[in-house]
Structure 1
Amino acid sequence: MEKELEFMRRNYPDILKNEPPYIAVRFSPNVKLTYNDDGIKQLIDRQFAPIKRLLTKYPGIRMKRLYQALSTDRLEELIKKAQATDETYRPGPFFNYYKFEHDDPALLPAIAKDMQQWKEVEQAVVYVPAPDPFVNAANDPRAVNQTYLNEAPGGIDARYAWNFAGGDGQNQRLVDLERGWTFDHEDLTAHGITLLNGTIRDGSRAHGTAVLGEITAVDNTIGCVGITPNLTSVRTTSYHGSTIPDAILAAIAAMAFGDVLLLEVQVFVPGLVNMYGPAEVLDDAYEAIRLATALGIIVVEAGGNGTNNGGTPPFAMNSYVAPGGNAILNPGGAGFRDSGAILVSAATSAAPHTRLSWAPHGQRIDNYAWGENINTLQSNDSAATSLYQTGFGGTSGASPIITGAVLAINGIAEASLGFRFGPRQMRALLRNPATGTAPSPAEATQISVMPNLRQIIDNLLNITPDIYVRDFVGDTGNPHSGAISASPDVIVRPMAEADPQAAFGEGSGTEDSNTLGSSVVATTDHFIYVRMRNRGGSVANNVQATVFWSPPASLVTPDLWTLAGSTTLASVPNGNQLTVSNAINWPAASVPPVGHYCFVGIIGNALDPAPEPADFNDWNNFQLFIRNNNNVTWRNFNVVSAEPEPNASVEGFVELPFLLVGAPDKARAFDIIIEGKLPEGARLMFQMPLDFYRQARQYFPKSELAGKNEARALLNPFQQTTLKGMKLPAKYRGKCKLLLYIPKPLRKQAYQLTLRQLYRGLQVGGLTWQTGPRRL
């Protein structure tokens, strides 16, 4: 530790003065001492020869208990409580740790070397304080620049968490461990921040103020806004004029299950020269951290910023072997030990995120976050109260972002679920790759993920509303491979319903009816109702339901949509109860001519947003919306007269016109399947453009030209007809029609005819016709 001492003496003499280096000594269990500051006298009284020789060689040595922040009784009380809280907790040898000091710190390495030879000593490690882990320097005016608050992949989506009770940190408590702060900064003073331990170092005020600004700057129309601006309690614990273990113990003695302790500290890593790492590489600090997590306190720990000698190698945790020979930070290594803390690395602010060159990496890293370009508060040695900055960073900047995420999650959990997550549960939530932002695919080192609060809230907490409209009777809102064009939840009527909920909602007896729609008649006002369910964990407020109509088409792309109207439901209760909207008035002037229609229904609110029509122009999105987005549905359900159309191209047949539609982006191959549930004596023909007919003619046993640019083919009305691999140009619009003949005695009955369009085996479009007497 000679080089580290010289570095600190040259650059941070005030730290050395207030945080004197010491030797952390762990005696073996057979050395039974009363845990007080009179250890040397006890050893001398026991005729312990090595201590007499040491005192002769190095006069002035002092021996004190290492953990001084709490009384022995209070520490024992916390240990017993931790054992009761966490059955996996095995208390460390707290009462075997002592601190040896000397007025000349330069002698400490030699003293430690002598003590390591004693058979009664398991460990003697020189502790030299390290500098702060710092690298570079809404309506709140600077909040727009705090893009780490934004949605993934750029940020953690704190703004989304604010939509939920507790997502702003309400009822949550934080303790920040470092060296200095300006408590009365204009963006912090409302918190009434207090100090639990140690003293404030002026040279560290900028650091601590910036950290607290990221987490909890008040939403006060001034400066920044924190990730969780409404914390119930913000306290600090300083290791300036104290030690890291004591600062931890002083904090946890005042904390409860689910509270959050942030360790904004880095230490020199034992056995490595000039290398910074997390506090837990020191055995005495590890014991205090593990006690905290066993008590249910969530500890977020900065991983440290590499070296102090001008180079930028990171701390490679998987390969680190402590002086005792154990790979203490490698989960797959011998002697691994898990403190239970959430260990944080740092990455670029821009997505896709890559690890910053000096930042630590390894399997033990639980999360990464921004380590540069952080917009937050600033202060100085004069405790300035109105300064701000745009360049905070390091693992010092990354760890507050993770801390804010923890506080938001537990705030929401407590408000909505009635409990707070403990350390193991919280770490599992944050590390989950399914709900976090992975680093760049080019990142070769292990830094885990950056939490995505939207994904965690929606998919792991299950407290958001999940409203859905059904694609078919039996649809439960999950991704499916069933019908996509037979929704029972878009209902059109020629007269308004006095009580839509009673007529169509839960308990109406019509919940699973797919025959509620009426034919649409020109020059007549109509009324459209949308019904939906909410299978989520909370009520959906202010849900907008929008309905479009389209001419019949195999793919109903947005360019075919015409707005029919929209309405807002004040609330849709959770519990999967079928809820019906008020009427969307569809005036006669907006109703197209009598015929066959496709209705597109879209629902959504702020917490379960609806896609925009423009989103459907992307082919990948189009496919996902059809199968996986339960906020969208199609209803190709048409009631037509069974009597022949007077202008039918073939006498005695009903015409069912539609558009055969290609993908919006480029030519793609589709399978077209036509299938009817038709009676004996029925006949079915397919009339199509010549360009399509040339591809499909191999599938038609009998066909003929039907004018200059069309062909007509006879289909088997009792058997499925499949046209495989039909390549349709981008934005193709082929005017087609099915010609259906039903024997006259059977025309008063209803029959169904469907057309499905498949892409790579999955249905992406289709039409459903139902024949029968026209109903008004």
Structure 2
Amino acid sequence: MPNGDIRRRVVVKFRDAVNLPYEDGAERHVVRLGVGPWTELAQRYQGVRLNRLFTVISPERIGKLVSRASERDRHYRAPNLLSFFVIDSPDGVDPEALASALREWPQVQEAYIDPLDASPAPPGTNPFYALQTYLKPPATAAPPAPQGAIDAEFAWLQPGGTGANQKIVDLERGAKLDQEDIVARNIQKLHGINNPVDRVHGAQVLCVVAAVDNAIGVIGIAPGVAEVAYACQVIDNLGHVDRPNAVAAVIDHFTQPGEDPVGRVLLLEVELGSQNDLVSLTHVDTSVWSGMPMETTLADYELIRLATALGIVVVEAAGNGDHNLDDFQQASSGQFVLARPGGRPDSGAIMVGGSTSNFPYKRAAFAGQASCYGHRVDCFAWAFNVATYYVDPFTGQEGYGAAFGATSAASAIVAGAALLVEGVAEATLGHRLAPAQLRALLADQTLNANTPSNDPPVDLIGVMPNLKHILQDALGVAPDVYIRDYLGDVGDVHAGAISLSPDVIIRPVADPAPAVTFGPGTANDLMLGPTVTSGQDNFVYVRVWNRGAVAAANVTATVFYAEPATLVTADDWKFVGSVAIAHVPAGNVMTVSDAIRWPSAAVPGPGHYCFIALVGNTQDPVPTRANFLNFDYYCAYIRQNNNVTWRNFNVVTAAASRAPMLSVDPEDAFEFEFAAPGAYNAERYFQLRVDGTLPPDAQVWLEFPLTLFSGHVPLMNIDTARQTGQVVIGHAGATLPAALFPAKSRARCRLLVRIPRRLRDEDWDVYVSQLYEGFEVGRITWRIARIR
């Protein structure tokens, strides 16, 4: 039914001390008790009657639910819900004038026209799984880096992580419940009629949240959810807007005998419009705000607050009105009803704003609208390019596409995330989380926790939930297996060295007790075994850590090697071996693997090598080597994860291997050959940085092909035959300007180092690192050993 055909009604909230019998036709009690001048009102507005607002739940059950909520939530201050009534506007009666007259009564707390609303969306093997990149980890860089959002895929690997045993109700204007990807859910309708106008929107939301894992369409964020139900909030059988009773029906559904409402999810796919309403959405400056969250109106707010007090998780769209909710001072109440803190206590709902689908996640703006924002907004998610059910607006052709958006899509994504967290909590902790507990996790703004927006103090849309962080770090119900990149690494995301791992150890003979030899007391020893011996078997050991709160079972460590390079691309990795570790305890206890035997036939000749180690299990997996062939994936992965490392560390003697191209005493100079590769799949701009711990009198030169940095830096010792040149680095180190490295290129370079003889009684380190967009993506390090 179009909004213009809906008969309007006025919601009346008497003061809590007013106790009228809760029945239809209550105007006779208003007259009998002298609550207000009803007789005069009825003469001015012919045909008006005072009826119950809440008709889905009996007054007795409302009283019991309020008592239950008060016992469960000590912060809940229940209003007199039985003082909410409604007046249907008869033909010829101006609802605005009627509401204005009622607000003049001293015993009336508030009277307003129930605002019309809209779905908070802009106009207009699962084969489409590849389009659902909102299921993947959040991005750390703009395209072409891989884009993602909540990392639902990580949650799926955890016990209960598909939403097992969880229940959700989607409160919509309409929903196509027989859509092919959700029809198997047998979705129950709890309230209202199924408005045909918005059935596509409802199906889009339901597919995002709970599409079945099958051979058609998409997969829902929570494919394992136990129950999906639906309530139509807008149009009841009388044709009225009736959100409060729709919420009441959901509360009734989740609180039936034998049901525990705690952790059940209610998704509010609603934004309030200003059609024919100049009260509850009117600011004190007389402007009317449209595209507002549902809790703006009093009756909706009180039902949402009752739901959260009972333990129901409410996920609420912030709306697309482009408003700072902090600034909305409601004219009828004089309160900043959506500020935090504000005139009303917090409803307890998780309010969701919208962002772009690409890093750096700016607040969403679209088609003359934009996501609402403010301190009341807890979380955000994608408001663009969300893959789900789709109907072509011109042809009516049904299908799937990445075309859903606005805060409708964003709130659906966050509702899906809520189901996954609740599923894991119930499976691992034995109970579901209360609304305040879950909101604290999803909206946690701690650094390196959930994903911030582009400019948090300006955007004011909260954070995007990062399920891997929530489950591993915050909730502590998933293992977090890692291997250190450098001494002092504790598994946090970092932008520092990635090629100095002390946890890959090589020995020429098998150690009879590796847990002792490489165990307690040796964690910070970088020299346990950095040398490979050619012509014989070698034995590789990996030390693994778990900073999660639960033990990791059946962990696998896999080791590769490659030639020394500043960027060790996966096409150059050569398999060494793998080893299973049955148990890695929680609490950051170092665990040493058994030996990986590296047979002599597979060991290369004498020289310098880089070892690559990956560790993980089914709950904290690592990608395959093929994934790393995509440089953008590689770059994003190493910035976000801690279960891959490199050991690029070499011991050399004090004598140089041959005379370098320098006018210095050959005995005083060292040369280190290495490759500076380009990305495997595309050309990229890289920088090289030379640094280390060298004495002030040291001299350093970097030699490279003229095609690489010629024209970017002043050169010396140009060799036209070899087409190479050198740049002076100096003992303090230097970073070369960015240069374009062709795809699959491998520039052959040399680092030349001179250390005065009088300083040869100490060990010195020098390294070359490769930087991409300011982040280190590879490093090769050499140690110049003292003369012994």
TM-score by length of 2: 0.74
Q: Which residue of 2 aligns with 1:169?
A: 163
Deviation, 1:286, is 0.7
Q: Does 1:526 align with 2:566?
A: no
1:71 corresponds, among 41, 58, 74, to 58
1:241 partner amino acid: D
Equivalent pair of 1:752/1:768 in contact (CA under 8 Å): no
1:265 corresponds, among 270, 289, 309, to 270
Q: Deviations over 1:625-654 (max 9, x none)?
A: 7999573243646497x9x99999999x99
Looking at structure 2, the residues matched to 170 and 145 of structure 1 have their Cα atoms a distance apart, in angstroms, of 24
Q: Does 1:249 align with 2:262?
A: no
Inter-CA distance 73–325: structure 2 relative to 1 (3 Å threshold)? closer
Q: Aligned to 1:69, what secondary structure does the other structure show?
A: coil
1:475-624 pair list within 5 angstroms: 476-477=490-491, 489-496=503-510, 517=529, 520-538=532-550, 539=552, 541=554, 543-548=556-561, 563=574, 565-569=576-580, 571-575=582-586, 576-594=588-606, 599=611, 601-604=613-616, 607=620, 609=622
Inter-CA distance 379–174: structure 2 relative to 1 (3 Å threshold)? farther
Q: Does 1:366 align with 2:378?
A: yes
Inter-CA distance 401–601: structure 2 relative to 1 (3 Å threshold)? closer
Looking at structure 2, the residues matched to 501 and 208 of structure 1 have their Cα atoms a distance apart, in angstroms, of 59
Equivalent pair of 1:549/1:564 in contact (CA under 8 Å): no
Q: Does 1:328 align with 2:322?
A: no
Q: Does 1:632 align with 2:645?
A: yes
Deviation, 1:519, is 5.8
Equivalent pair of 1:542/1:570 in contact (CA under 8 Å): yes
Inter-CA distance 379–533: structure 2 relative to 1 (3 Å threshold)? same
Deviation, 1:772, is 10
Q: Which residue of 2 aligns with 1:412?
A: 424
Inter-CA distance 670–70: structure 2 relative to 1 (3 Å threshold)? same
Q: Does 1:339 align with 2:333?
A: no
Inter-CA distance 31–578: structure 2 relative to 1 (3 Å threshold)? closer
Q: Does 1:755 align with 2:741?
A: no
Alignment length (residue pairs) = 700
Looking at structure 2, the residues matched to 264 and 617 of structure 1 have their Cα atoms a distance apart, in angstroms, of 38
Deviates more, 1:531-540 or 1:258-267: 531-540
Inter-CA distance 406–586: structure 2 relative to 1 (3 Å threshold)? same
Q: Which residue of 1 aligns with 2:712?
A: none
Inter-CA distance 325–464: structure 2 relative to 1 (3 Å threshold)? same
Deviation, 1:281, is 1.4
Q: Does 1:447 align with 2:434?
A: no
Q: Which residue of 1 aligns with 2:365?
A: 355
Inter-CA distance 558–375: structure 2 relative to 1 (3 Å threshold)? closer
Inter-CA distance 472–500: structure 2 relative to 1 (3 Å threshold)? farther
Q: Which residue of 1 aligns with 2:293?
A: 278
Equivalent pair of 2:50/2:87 in contact (CA under 8 Å): yes
Deviates more, 1:514-523 or 1:92-101: 514-523
Deviation, 1:176, is 1.3
Looking at structure 1, the residues matched to 424 and 8 of structure 2 have their Cα atoms a distance apart, in angstroms, of 43
Looking at structure 2, the residues matched to 624 and 754 of structure 1 have their Cα atoms a distance apart, in angstroms, of 31
Equivalent pair of 2:577/2:598 in contact (CA under 8 Å): no
Equivalent pair of 1:527/1:583 in contact (CA under 8 Å): yes
Q: Aligned to 2:731, what secondary structure does the other structure show?
A: strand
Inter-CA distance 453–691: structure 2 relative to 1 (3 Å threshold)? closer
Looking at structure 2, the residues matched to 656 and 48 of structure 1 have their Cα atoms a distance apart, in angstroms, of 98
Looking at structure 2, the residues matched to 623 and 430 of structure 1 have their Cα atoms a distance apart, in angstroms, of 22
Q: Aligned to 1:277, what secondary structure does the other structure show?
A: coil
Inter-CA distance 610–639: structure 2 relative to 1 (3 Å threshold)? farther
Deviation, 1:404, is 1.0
Looking at structure 1, the residues matched to 411 and 756 of structure 2 have their Cα atoms a distance apart, in angstroms, of 68
Q: Deviations over 1:405-461 (max 9, x none)?
A: 211222223323444333233333333445444445599653334333344444433
Equivalent pair of 1:534/1:572 in contact (CA under 8 Å): no
Looking at structure 1, the residues matched to 172 and 497 of structure 2 have their Cα atoms a distance apart, in angstroms, of 59
1:345 partner amino acid: G
1:99 partner amino acid: V
Looking at structure 1, the residues matched to 378 and 356 of structure 2 have their Cα atoms a distance apart, in angstroms, of 17
1:80 partner amino acid: S
Looking at structure 1, the residues matched to 545 and 304 of structure 2 have their Cα atoms a distance apart, in angstroms, of 46
Looking at structure 2, the residues matched to 646 and 667 of structure 1 have their Cα atoms a distance apart, in angstroms, of 27
2:108 partner amino acid: V
Q: Aligned to 1:209, what secondary structure does the other structure show?
A: helix
Inter-CA distance 254–670: structure 2 relative to 1 (3 Å threshold)? same
1:373-392 pair list within 5 angstroms: 373-377=385-389, 391-392=403-404
Q: CA RMSD in A?
A: 4.9
Q: Which residue of 2 aligns with 1:231?
A: 225
Looking at structure 2, the residues matched to 339 and 247 of structure 1 have their Cα atoms a distance apart, in angstroms, of 17
Looking at structure 2, the residues matched to 266 and 23 of structure 1 have their Cα atoms a distance apart, in angstroms, of 19
1:597-746 pair list within 5 angstroms: 599=611, 601-604=613-616, 607=620, 609=622, 631-634=644-647, 636=649, 638=651, 658-659=672-673, 670-674=690-694, 723-725=731-733, 733-734=749-750
Equivalent pair of 2:616/2:643 in contact (CA under 8 Å): no
Q: Aligned to 1:300, what secondary structure does the other structure show?
A: strand
Inter-CA distance 618–686: structure 2 relative to 1 (3 Å threshold)? farther
Q: Which residue of 1 aligns with 2:411?
A: 399
Q: Which residue of 1 aligns with 2:39?
A: 52
Q: Aligned to 2:50, what secondary structure does the other structure show?
A: strand
Looking at structure 1, the residues matched to 33 and 18 of structure 2 have their Cα atoms a distance apart, in angstroms, of 11
Looking at structure 1, the residues matched to 702 and 458 of structure 2 have their Cα atoms a distance apart, in angstroms, of 55
Q: Deviations over 1:446-499 (max 9, x none)?
A: 3334333344444433444333334677765468999988755333333446x7
2:48 corresponds, among 56, 61, 64, to 61
Equivalent pair of 1:486/1:768 in contact (CA under 8 Å): no
Looking at structure 2, the residues matched to 637 and 225 of structure 1 have their Cα atoms a distance apart, in angstroms, of 48
Q: Deviations over 1:104-124 (max 9, x none)?
A: 264333322222222222222
Equivalent pair of 2:117/2:273 in contact (CA under 8 Å): yes
2:556 partner amino acid: V
2:44 partner amino acid: K
Deviation, 1:172, is 1.2
Q: Deviations over 1:247-277 (max 9, x none)?
A: 1122113321111101122333522558342
Q: Which residue of 2 aligns with 1:318?
A: 326
Q: Which residue of 2 aligns with 1:97?
A: 84
Q: Aligned to 1:100, what secondary structure does the other structure show?
A: strand
Inter-CA distance 436–65: structure 2 relative to 1 (3 Å threshold)? same
Q: Which residue of 2 aligns with 1:296?
A: 311
Looking at structure 1, the residues matched to 400 and 626 of structure 2 have their Cα atoms a distance apart, in angstroms, of 41
Identity of aligned residues (%): 33
| Unmatched segments (≥5 aa) in structure 1 | 1-7, 307-313, 676-684, 693-721, 743-750
Inter-CA distance 618–178: structure 2 relative to 1 (3 Å threshold)? closer
Equivalent pair of 2:163/2:226 in contact (CA under 8 Å): yes
1:142 partner amino acid: F
Q: Which residue of 1 aligns with 2:727?
A: none
2:763 partner amino acid: L
| Unmatched segments (≥5 aa) in structure 2 | 139-146, 255-260, 275-279, 679-684, 705-729, 740-746
Q: Deviations over 1:97-148 (max 9, x none)?
A: 21122432643333222222222222221225434444334x1122223333
Q: Deviations over 1:564-615 (max 9, x none)?
A: 6131426552324444445444333443455676655454567354797998
Looking at structure 1, the residues matched to 193 and 383 of structure 2 have their Cα atoms a distance apart, in angstroms, of 27
1:69 partner amino acid: V
Looking at structure 1, the residues matched to 687 and 390 of structure 2 have their Cα atoms a distance apart, in angstroms, of 56
Deviates more, 1:659-668 or 1:337-346: 659-668
Q: Which residue of 1 aligns with 2:720?
A: none
Looking at structure 2, the residues matched to 586 and 656 of structure 1 have their Cα atoms a distance apart, in angstroms, of 30
